[in-house]
């Protein structure tokens, strides 16, 4: 039985900060951010878009009535959790009208948790072939004003449906793994901002790639040539490029062409943590020309740290199941922020007793926080 990605979609909020605006205001040569880190725009969440509403918006863009009837598990991966106890996935039951005989939970392991959720979903479908699993990754990446990590922030959500006989890609069985106990990037529960040992995190990312890739090659008995394209967790595009060069020195290789197609969306959005690898996958599929049956290698990294390298195989006609025009419009129809508005947004941390006007800009928006509970507005469609 083939199990894999039946649908995939994303949501990004309607606001962004141009990376040149940030560089100029930080008195940094814009080329450092544009060429040195390969960034272009950074998605910024307005106060009425949180991880729940962004996750709902991503999921709403791919779900049909038939999917909703078959979904018996919903997994929500995030490292920007809004509650230490109540799982983000429970909000999706009401906001997406999912059925209630369902397993719903939230998963955390830095940027890796969405990959873990996808693997758990695959195993669930293996045991329950008629079921579909909704998997969501949603995050707001915040390092804070005037930090080294500031240009690599972002916000957005990915949603996938994992099922048998998938329309987009089969998930193959072998995973290369590597994990260790390190402090490269972390966020203590009392801090709204991530802590990071920047250059150390870069080194660990590359080391964990090599270790997990080698583990994959050993277990699968595949060679590099058996993989048509490599995609990466993208905290910023330059790190993916440098990591690819560790295994492919020839810059004329097709692998670089595919890599460039895989970062088009990430460069417009920034780091969305759990979703970044899968935003890169959507970018490759929608902006590239991968042939049916191509094999793609995915490198998932979560600080702290754990790495997984695994492969998917595109199915015949996968191109007919993408949402390219919708995604391009989503990215195009955003509003640029001034530096002052951006600073005000990222330094505001919502607490109780707040109410928003209905803006109806997206399918789902945060409406209010009262009695320590969040309520959302769903646009009539
Ligand atoms: P930095 O230390 O300020 O930058 O911040 P730098 O000095 O390393 O320069 C960056 C690049 O710009 C260099 O290129 C410079 O040469 C170049 P390289 O030599 O590396 O190829 N440069 C220029 N290029 C053109 N014109 C110029 C110019 N000036 C310099 N004028 C750092 C970089 C990534 C450390 C910082 O942004 C940061 O701390 N980011 C956050 C941490 C991060 O993203 N780490 C990545 C690995 S960890 C990870 O991926 C996990 C994560 O997603 C979290 C999770 O798992 O949940 C973060």
Closest atom of ligand 1 relative to the 36 alpha carbon: 12
285 and 330 inside one domain: no
Instruction: Round to whole Å and give the CA distance between 29 and 118.
Output: 40
CA 151 to ligand 1 centroid distance, Å = 9
* 264 token code pair: 């088009």
245 ligand 1 Cβ < 6 A: no
303 ligand 1 Cβ < 6 A: yes
Q: If you average pLDDT over residues 174-184, what whole number do you get?
A: 98
Report CA-CA distances (Å) from 38 to 80, 162, 234, 293: 24, 32, 11, 30
Shortest-distance Cα residue to atom 3 of ligand 1: 148
Q: If you average pLDDT over residues 178-188, what whole number do you get?
A: 98
Residue 360: predicted pLDDT: 84
The model's confidence at residue 126, banded by pLDDT at 50, 70 and 90, is: very high
Please say which residue of 301, 317, 333 terminates a domain: 317
- Mean pLDDT in the chain? 97
Put residue 239 in one of left, alpha, beta given phi > 0 → left and psi -120 to 50 → alpha: alpha
Please say which residue of 275, 290, 317 terminates a domain: 317
Whether residue 306 is predicted with pLDDT greater than 90 in this model: the reply is yes
119 and 131 inside one domain: yes
Please say which residue of 317, 336, 365 terminates a domain: 317
Number of structural domains, the chain?
Answer: 2
18 and 141 inside one domain: yes
List the end-to-end C-alpha distance of the chain, in Å, as a whole number.
36
Q: Let me know if 321 is a catalytic residue.
A: no
Q: If you average pLDDT over residues 327-332, what whole number do you get?
A: 98
110 ligand 1 Cβ < 6 A: yes
302 ligand 1 Cβ < 6 A: yes
Q: Let me know if 79 is a catalytic residue.
A: yes
Q: If you average pLDDT over residues 183-199, what whole number do you get?
A: 96
55 and 188 inside one domain: no
243 ligand 1 Cβ < 6 A: no
Closest listed residue to residue 159, CA positions, set 268, 7, 45, 308: 7
50 and 103 inside one domain: yes
Write down the catalytic residue from 79, 170, 286, 308: 79
- Of 110, 235, 241, 303, the residue with max ligand 1 atoms within 8 A of its CB, to mutate for a pocket test, comes to 235
178 and 248 inside one domain: yes
Whether residue 380 is predicted with pLDDT greater than 90 in this model: the reply is no
Closest atom of ligand 1 relative to the 242 alpha carbon: 21
40 and 154 inside one domain: yes
138 ligand 1 Cβ < 6 A: no
Number of other CB atoms surrounding residue 81 within 10 Å: 17
8 and 157 inside one domain: yes
Closest listed residue to residue 11, CA positions, set 237, 342, 265: 265
Residue 119: predicted pLDDT: 98
291 in helix, strand or coil? coil
**DSSP 8-state secondary structure symbol assigned to residue 225:** G
184 and 160 inside one domain: no
Tell me the pLDDT tens digit for each residue of 50-85: 999 999 999 999 999 999 999 999 999 999 999 999
**DSSP 8-state secondary structure symbol assigned to residue 111:** B
CA 27 to ligand 1 centroid distance, Å = 16
219 and 85 inside one domain: no
- Of 32, 193, 194, the residue with max ligand 1 atoms within 8 A of its CB, to mutate for a pocket test, comes to 32
Structural domain that includes position 25: 3-167+321-378
331 and 249 inside one domain: no
CATH code for position 18? 3.40.47.10
Whether residue 321 is predicted with pLDDT greater than 90 in this model: the reply is yes
146 and 80 inside one domain: yes
Shortest-distance Cα residue to atom 42 of ligand 1: 198
Residue 282: predicted pLDDT: 98
Alpha helices (H) in the chain, listed in sequence order: 19-25, 30-31, 51-60, 65-70, 88-95, 113-127, 198-220, 237-247, 254-262, 266-269, 276-287, 324-332, 339-346
Whether residue 307 is predicted with pLDDT greater than 90 in this model: the reply is yes
Q: If you average pLDDT over residues 179-185, what whole number do you get?
A: 98
**Residues facing 8 on adjacent strands:** 160
Instruction: Round to whole Å and give the CA distance between 362 and 58.
Output: 10
141 ligand 1 Cβ < 6 A: no
Instruction: Round to whole Å and give the CA distance between 381 and 343.
Output: 33
Q: Look up the pTM and report it.
A: 0.98
Tell me the pLDDT tens digit for each residue of 266-300: 999 999 999 999 999 999 999 999 999 999 999 99
Residue 55: predicted pLDDT: 98
Residue 359: predicted pLDDT: 84
**Residues facing 109 on adjacent strands:** 111
């Amino acid at each position: 039985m083939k199990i894999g990605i039946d649908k995939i979609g994303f949501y990004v909020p309607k606001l962004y900060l141009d990376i040149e605006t940030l560089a100029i205001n930080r008195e940094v040569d814009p080329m450092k951010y544009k060429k040195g880190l390969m960034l272009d725009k950074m998605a910024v969440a307005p106060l009425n878009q949180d991880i729940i509403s962004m996750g709902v918006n991503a999921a709403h863009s791919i779900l049909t009535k038939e999917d909703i009837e078959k979904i018996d598990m919903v997994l929500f991966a995030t490292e920007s959790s809004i509650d230490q106890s109540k799982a983000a996935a429970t909000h999706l039951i009401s906001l997406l009208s999912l059925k209630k005989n369902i397993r719903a939970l939230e998963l955390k392991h830095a940027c890796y948790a969405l990959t873990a959720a996808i693997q758990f979903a695959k195993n669930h479908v293996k045991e329950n072939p008629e079921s579909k699993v909704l998997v969501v990754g949603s995050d707001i990446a915040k390092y804070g004003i005037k930090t080294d990590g500031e240009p690599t922030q972002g916000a957005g959500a990915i949603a996938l449906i994992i099922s048998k006989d998938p329309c987009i890609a089969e998930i193959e069985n072998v995973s290369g793994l590597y994990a260790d106990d390190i402090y490269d990037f972390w966020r203590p529960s009392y801090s709204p901002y991530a802590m990071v040992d920047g250059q150390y995190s870069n080194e660990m990312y590359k080391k964990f790639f090599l270790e997990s890739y080698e583990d994959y090659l050993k277990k699968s008995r595949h060679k590099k040539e058996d993989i048509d394209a490599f995609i990466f967790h993208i905290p910023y595009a330059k790190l993916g490029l440098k990591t690819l060069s560790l295994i492919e020195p020839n810059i004329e290789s097709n692998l670089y062409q595919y890599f460039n197609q895989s970062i088009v969306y990430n460069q417009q959005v920034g780091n969305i943590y759990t979703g970044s690898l899968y935003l890169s996958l959507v970018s490759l599929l929608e902006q590239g020309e991968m042939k049916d049956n191509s094999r793609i290698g995915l490198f998932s990294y979560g600080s702290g740290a754990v790495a997984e390298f695994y492969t998917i195989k595109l199915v015949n006609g996968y191109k007919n199941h993408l949402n390219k025009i919708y995604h391009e419009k989503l990215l195009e129809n955003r509003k640029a922020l001034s530096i002052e508005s951006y600073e005000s947004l990222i330094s505001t941390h919502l607490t109780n007793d707040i109410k928003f006007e209905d803006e109806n800009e997206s399918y789902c928006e945060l409406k209010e926080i009262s009695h320590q509970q969040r309520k959302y507005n769903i646009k009539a469609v």
